[in-house]
Structures are given as structure tokens and as C-alpha cells.
Amino acid sequence: MATATFAAGCFWGVEAAFRRLDGVIDTCVGYTGGTTPDPTYEDVCSGRTGHAEAVRITYDPQRISYEALLDTFWAIHDPTQRDRQGPDVGTQYRSAIFTHDAAQDAAARASKAQQEASGRFARPIVTEIVPAGAFYRAEEYHQRYLEKRGAATCRTP
């Protein structure tokens, strides 16, 4: 098993998109990329912790590649919006790839360059690519939020 971590706006829809992929074993929503240890949802929403709402994915690399996860990441949000997705505004909604090793870092950078060269986006991609750090699991009511409510997806770009 391997781990990947992505931030692409509200973590509810991001988690739902990744959970549908064959080869994704589990997902967990939480907070990462900030400075406050063990933040709460309210802390993160304040914009003062530096954390992003993110999804940590456990996947089977024999069934789905990291590159396929990256393809999904680019498809489910607008990576040209800085610190927002749709009506959700703040640094906690930024676009970010949190890499777990050198291979993921190289793949993420190559994938970002490929997206930039594709002409798909009219504006520059602002997605940050940074090493994964501490990940704090969000409160239980956030886990599989849309699934628990019978909703298939959140907003899309």
C-alpha cells in the first residue's frame, strides 16, 4: 500500500471523487500544511493555522498509479484559483500536492508541467507541491461526509 495527499478545496467533494477510484483502499480527510498542532475545524476555518483541508489516500499501486491519482486531482478542481474553490475562500481551500517521497515529488512536478503545457487552463496553475508533513485527522462528522448524506458529489469547477 502507498499514501498520497491532496488539497483541492472543500475536502468533502475531493474525498468522494477519490473514493470512487478502483485501487483506492481508504481515504481520510484532515488538515495539513500548517503550523498549529492538532487543529480543529474551527481553527482551520479561521485562516490562522496555515493548514489546508486535505485528503490522505491509501491506495494499491498495483491497481492504480500515482499518476492516475494526479490525473483525478487535476480534473476535480480549478488549480488556477489561489486560496479558493468556487464560493469557498481562504488558504485552507488552496490547491496543493503533499508528496511523500522523491518519486511522488518528481511525478507531481512532471504532471503539473504537463498540465501547464496542455493549454487546458487559461490562467497559470497555482498548485503548490510540497513535502507531506503532519496530517491531523478531521473530526469524525467530516469523514465520508457526502457518502453519509447520500450525496454523490460536491461542486465542481
**Which 3 state secondary structure label does DSSP give 50?**
coil
Nearest-angstrom CA–CA distance, 9 and 89: 9
CB 46 within 8 A of CB 39: no
Per DSSP bridges, beta strands 95-99 and 88-89 are unpaired
What band does 43 get if pLDDT is binned at 50, 70 and 90? very high
The pTM of the full predicted model, rounded to 2 decimals, is: 0.91
Is position 10 annotated as part of the catalytic site?
Answer: yes
Model confidence pLDDT, tens digit, residues 100-146: 999 999 999 999 999 999 999 999 999 999 999 999 998 777 687 66
Given this model, what pLDDT does residue 143 score? 80
Contacts 24+ apart (CB under 8 A), 66-69: 66/2, 66/4, 66/103, 66/104, 66/107, 67/107, 67/111, 68/21, 68/23, 69/4, 69/6, 69/18, 69/21, 69/24
Nearest-angstrom CA–CA distance, 105 and 98: 8
What band does 25 get if pLDDT is binned at 50, 70 and 90? very high
Given this model, what pLDDT does residue 69 score? 98
- Average pLDDT rounded to a whole number, residues 48-72: 97
Given this model, what pLDDT does residue 151 score? 60
Model confidence pLDDT, tens digit, residues 78-98: 999 999 998 899 999 999 999
CATH among 3.10.20.30, 3.40.50.12780, 3.40.50.720, 3.30.1060.10 for 2-148? 3.30.1060.10
In the chain, the percentage of residues whose pLDDT exceeds 90 is 83
Q: Exactly one of 10, 28, 45, 154 is catalytic; name it.
A: 10
Class of residue 102 by CB neighbours under 10 A (exposed 0-12, middle 13-18, buried 19+) = exposed
**Which 3 state secondary structure label does DSSP give 94?**
coil
All three cell numbers of 91: 488558504
Judge whether residue 44 has pLDDT over 70.
Answer: yes
Per DSSP bridges, beta strands 135-137 and 128-131 are unpaired
